[in-house]
Amino acid sequence: MTSSILVVDDEPRLAETLALALEGGGLTSEFVTSADSALERIEQGEFGLVITDLRMPGRNGRDLLHELQSKRPDMPVVVMTAYASLRDAVALVKDGAFDYISKPFEIDDVIATARRALRLTQVVNENRRLRAELEGRYSFGNLIGSSPAFAEVLRQIAEVCESRATVLIQGESGTGKELVARAIHFNSPRRDNPFIAINCSAIPEHLLESELFGHAKGAFTGAVAAREGRFVTANGGTLFLDEIGDLPASLQPKLLRALQDQTFEPVGSDRSVKVDVRIIAATHRDLEAAMDDDDFREDLYYRLAVYPIRVPALRERAGDVLPIASHFLSHFAAEMTKKISGFAPEAEAALSAYQWPGNIRELQNAIERATIVASQNVITPQDLPGYVTRAKRPAATNPAVPSDLDGEMERIERDFILAALQETDGVQVKAAERLGIAERSLWHRIKKLGIKIAKTAR
């Protein structure tokens, strides 16, 4: 038990009395009478605190502290000493002991010190547990997918995670861009420092600057106190700028400078702040098209895209649909305590055939809903949303190898765009939504493919 205390004193009577007194205070404790037996005991059991006498024959309290610092760096050690060697005890606290107790002591003081030390152990353990959980959650193991398109993403994560290079993650909504960013952070040397995410499109323009860079007291109405921005909160770690394509033009130069020099001034302040932050940005927008339209600064784009990663849409990694669906099914079935063993073959066929314009997020929602409505021990097509089972697509078994891949791809793209426009009566915003792409990107494709839209249909 990590809340147990080990008392070490060469005077057996004193050691026993202290151990009993601690027990009397509601704490668990044991005692030993030498540093050697203490080390042996610690090897066998879990202790949350060691209280040791300083002067002992053989290895003394100082030796024990040093030994524990290398073997169990998180274990707090409290040293006890008679008044005459108080200076030594104070020196040991500077050296890393948690605290000291001078003999003779008041037992209540010892209990209070022990409680404080045990609380520290608890916090350290809790922190370690949470970190292990987070690392587990974002380790590569939880990024599901083995299709060639996704394997390339995993390879890129592994390649870039060790460096501090700025990464630009591009991909449609719901493809897992944030998960990729987290995987990079939690596999980087910065993993013990914060991962801070901010969505540039969710915060009004006038607040975004202070959100990112902080503000001085009185910088604007309502700024009653100075506040640190996300750049400072993320110091030493990673700042994830989601939807960077929506960063207002007015803030782009300031971000560029922060990226170049790791320096900026909080709003309303002329004092520069220097930070050490790794930037990972993501967008579902076509930034190159935005650059062409002068919506996004070219210099900022190149600063961000030092290492670009493109996360494929789910329809480009069709082989991953069923493994990801099964992952979500086990998750939701466990959460809802339902016994569902898998998918009926017809349900699998429907899931595989559907295009998933909303990508993994759409798949996740569909599986959550299916788990709720399922009445058998497998998911049947009736449990899936109607638009999934109704969607028709020719079976892609043994497709003929085209002699002109580019032409063929354009034909497929044109067919999908025309179908979406037809379904949405030519309303481009809706068609783009249906296809899971930005309206601007749809417009570019329409232009590129020379698709003619009837005048009435816009």
Give the binding site for ligand ATP (CB under 6 A): 143-145, 171, 173-179, 242, 284, 324, 327, 360-361, 364
Q: What is the DSSP letter of 101?
A: E
Is the backbone of residue 13 left (phi > 0), alpha (psi -120 to 50) or beta? alpha
Encoding tokens for residue 258?
């922060």
Let me know how long the chain is. Answer: 458
What residue is closest to ligand ATP based on CB? 176
CB of 287 to ligand ATP, least distance (A): 14
- Identify whether 104 is preceded by a cis peptide bond (ω within 30 of 0): yes
Burial annotation 32-70 (CB, 10 A radius, 16+ → b, else e): bbbbbebbebbeeeebbbbbbbbebeeebbbebbebbee
Q: Could you tell me the smallest distance in angstroms from the CB atom of residue 173 to ligand ATP?
A: 4
Nearer to ligand ATP, 105 or 140 (CB): 140
Return d(Cα 346, Cα 383) in angstroms, integer: 11
Torsion of CA 108, 112, 118, 123, to 10 degrees: 160
Which residues share a beta bridge with 170? 283, 310
- Closer of 48 and 176 to ligand ATP (Cβ): 176
- Closest contact distance (angstroms) between CB of 86 and ligand ATP is 56
Contact 416, 381 (CB under 8 A): no
Q: Closest separation between CB of residue 243 and ligand ATP, Å?
A: 7
Considering only CA atoms, which of 279, 265, 290, 260 is closest in space to residue 209? 265
Longest alpha-carbon distance in the chain: 98
Residues facing residue 168 across a β-bridge:
281, 308
Question: Least distance from C-beta 344 to ligand ATP, angstroms?
Answer: 22
Task: Report residue 69: phi and psi, to 5°.
Answer: -60, -35
Minimum distance from residue 169 beta carbon to ligand ATP (Å):
8
Q: Return the closest-CA partner of residue 237 out of 274, 197, 195.
A: 195
Residue number with CB closer to ligand ATP (9 or 246)? 246
Beta bridge partners of 30: 6
167-170 β-sheet, strand order: 195-199, 238-242, 278-283, 167-170, 307-310
Question: Smaller CB distance to ligand ATP: residue 242 or 383?
Answer: 242
CB of 375 to ligand ATP, least distance (A): 26
CB 311 within 8 A of CB 282: no
Q: Which two tokens stand for residue 309?
A: 């990663």
* Shortest distance in whole angstroms from residue 39 CB to ligand ATP: 45
Minimal distance, residue 311 CB to ligand ATP, in Å = 7
**Nearest CA among 10, 86, 72 for reference residue 39:** 72
361 or 369: CB nearest ligand ATP: 361
174 vs 381, beta carbon nearer ligand ATP: 174
By beta-carbon proximity to ligand ATP, the closer residue of 172 and 209 is 172
> Which residue lies nearer to ligand ATP by CB, 17 or 365?
365
Closest CB to ligand ATP among 215 and 284?
284
Residue with Cβ nearer ligand ATP (39 or 324): 324
| Structure-derived torsion over alpha carbons of residues 209, 212, 218, 224, reported in degrees to the nearest 10 | 130
Helix and strand tally (H, E) in the chain? 19, 14
Of 111 and 179, CB closest to ligand ATP: 179
